[in-house]
Amino acid sequence: MFHLLGIIHRDLKPENMLISEDFQLKIADFGIGCEEAYCDFFADDPGTYRWMAPEMIKRKSYGWKVDVYGFGLILWEMVAGTIPYKDIKIRLQ
């Protein structure tokens, strides 16, 4: 729903996915979210590296699809029972 409003979460990960008492999925922690039209893609490192889309890590322009990537990694962990890219080492340039 928030994508329809032009908002990018930028930090989707299991810790930010909550389930209510009536089993509704809630997405939490929009602290680094932004309106897609006004995101400063290059000024900061939003998110958690293990859950970031490659274009975010490489500091390239991006859009709402980075949230789809993060959600895909959450599904990976749910289905496979392993943390994706658990041993990833990030080299910052």
What residues are labeled active site? 11
DSSP E strands in the chain: the ranges are 7-8, 17-19, 25-27, 34-35
- The DSSP code for 36 is G
How wide is the angle at C-alpha 16 spanned by C-alphas 39 and 61, nearest 5°? 25
